[in-house]
Amino acid sequence: MMRKLLVLAVVSTMLIACGPKKLETKEDYIAAIVEFEDSLKANAVDVNQLTDQAIGVSYAEKCLAVYRQFPKTKEAPRYLDKAHVIFASLGMHQRSVLLADTLIRNYPLYKNRPMVLESLATAYDIFLRPRNKEKVKMYYEMLLKEGTNLPAEQRENITFRLKNIDLSFEELIDANQAQQNKFR
């Protein structure tokens, strides 16, 4: 009950603080996001650990507004990525991968592209059902090809995953544990 009251208070505060203001410029949209983030922080809500779906979706939609209204700006891919991460953290993986795929398609030079590719591969491998091994393979291969600065261990893990692409993630863990138990 107390949690519901806290969420209601946070949402009410944000609606008042971030209420209907006329957003015309990119700076207006970004200022509204900063104001929203400040409101979350003032109510002791960690913007990187959102669990309340209504607050998270509202936050993600504000980020998407920057992308939709100003798609050719340098901020657009950053806010599209932020929305993708928010939806993933809320467990809304289908929506998250749609945004991440849009990001990969529309912004090939985005600085966090390797992270987005890994996020896509992981979502298709672990979170989305039925598992889509073709997409897992495609995104991991893209990551290996484009991620020239990947740490060696990460590169090895991805290569290992690709060699065992027919196994689900759970089966891969079980096989790996069985392999380790042999050597004990």
* Tens of pLDDT, residues 21-30: 688 999 999 9
Give the whole-angstrom CA distance, residue 120 versus residue 116: 6
End-to-end C-alpha distance for the chain, whole angstroms: 50
pLDDT, one tens digit per residue, over 115-168 is 999 999 999 999 999 999 999 999 999 999 998 899 999 999 999 999 999 999
Q: Which domain holds residue 179?
A: 112-184
For the whole model, what pTM was predicted? 0.82
Q: Does residue 119 share a domain with residue 67? A: no
* Average pLDDT of every residue of the chain: 88
Among the three residues 41, 59, 91, which one is the final residue of a domain in this structure? 91
CB 90 within 8 A of CB 57: yes
Output the pLDDT for position 10. 53
The domain total for the chain is 2
